[in-house]
Chain A
């Protein structure tokens, strides 16, 4: 295993607080929420595991000195990058859709596409899976359209609704400290505009 201190990016003589802060920052960065349905979710999960292990190792090493107080709060087990199993009316499409979900989870997009083409009907689940497949490919516009259709056809399905909400938000990613939220973006726009005015003024 790698040196736990270098995994957390701290020096071996860092204080307990510094280590905790470094751990929290990294856990925030690789948090499963930032990688929902993301094709790279497995890599983020691996990173998360690595940091958790490093943090535990350091705490165990230091617990002899009495500095350690309690766990960090993030556990790797909370999130499953895979789709849930669902019940369907028709057993034939049920097994087909399960195969599609499996193929998508294993990143075998070609197979998922082929399977979806053989589906007898285009019901809500078909649209949802087609949308999920498009999302994996990075085709975000078509993904949104299909997930929207799925939601229209089955408005009570929580899984579809959640996916639609995520798409409408434009996804989510970790934001490092200092690259703020919308206020910063606003500042940016005004800064651009100011520059532009000055430029226009001088140009004449």
Chain B
């Protein structure tokens, strides 16, 4: 997806950082086991966060060979019950994002996405069979989003809402009404935050190409930076107040770190135009 949802690692304890890395590797391994090698290529931080929300249990770790190091190196992989759900959601979303790109681009420009989505299709089918409701929601929400983009929708809430609802559906219902409501609100506002931060990140590029950008559509005369940051902070506050109602067990401190430090740091980087450089650097290091 976007990879915005990550902890501020300077402030994690060593054991928390170790477990987070192991969970990231565990998600990669689960993607491989459930949906094949191609699905592993779409690994990102955002769904590690989802895995933490889905299961608070202490992870069991194993040492596994890592394909990113051409199977020469072993990494510690965590296994928790939340990983299966997170992996399914990740593959479904990756697949539909690719299909969306194919639909939005001309034949030649859409060719790489077409090729990748073809490779991912087997994995996607398995994931969709496991999470049919989420699959339907993703399809509907992305369709809605495309329609709003075509209409150049001036309401940034309305377009952000489609992505936020999509993410809110990523956690499978547990049957506990209170927990489900809190998880849904957390993910809704996380989705809203991701969508708007991404819109700001693309602002200059969209201005040049004339592509739809919800912030440009909402503020045709020029975006009000402070106003936007207030509404983003508000979404984060609503996500945090939802988190306070959840029992996150083993991952509580890491989720707290992400919501209170990681996301504000990413927002700051995006709004000061340094995000792409930092992200590129991080990608060359391993988590």
Contact = CB atoms under 8 A, between A and B. Distances in A.
B contact patch SS: helix
Contact of A168 (B230, B237, B277): B230
Given A175-B260, A176-B260, A192 B265 contact: yes
Given A40-B182, A141-B157, A196 B278 contact: yes
A39 interface: yes
Given A34-B244, A173-B244, A138 B192 contact: yes
Interface in A145-204: 167-176, 179, 184-185, 188-189, 191-193, 195-196, 199-200
Contacts of B192: 138, 140
A141 B241 contact: no
Contacts of A47: 245
Given A176-B256, A176-B260, A191-B10, A29 B278 contact: no
A141 B218 contact: yes
**Most chain B Cβ neighbours within 10 Å, of A29, A137, A170, A184:** A170
A202 to B, nearest CB: 9
**Most chain A Cβ neighbours within 10 Å, of B157, B178, B261, B265:** B157
Nearest to B214: A141
A185 to B, nearest CB: 6
B115 to A, nearest CB: 32
B42 interface: no
Interface of A: 29-30, 34-35, 38-40, 43-44, 46-47, 134, 137-142, 144, 167-176, 179, 184-185, 188-189, 191-193, 195-196, 199-200
Interface of B: 8, 10, 155-158, 161, 164, 178, 181-182, 185, 188-189, 192, 218, 230-238, 240-242, 244-245, 256-257, 260-261, 264-265, 268-269, 272, 274, 277-278, 281
20 contacts: A29-B244, A40-B182, A40-B185, A43-B245, A137-B161, A138-B157, A138-B189, A140-B231, A141-B155, A141-B218, A141-B231, A171-B233, A173-B241, A179-B256, A179-B257, A179-B261, A184-B261, A192-B278, A199-B281, A200-B277
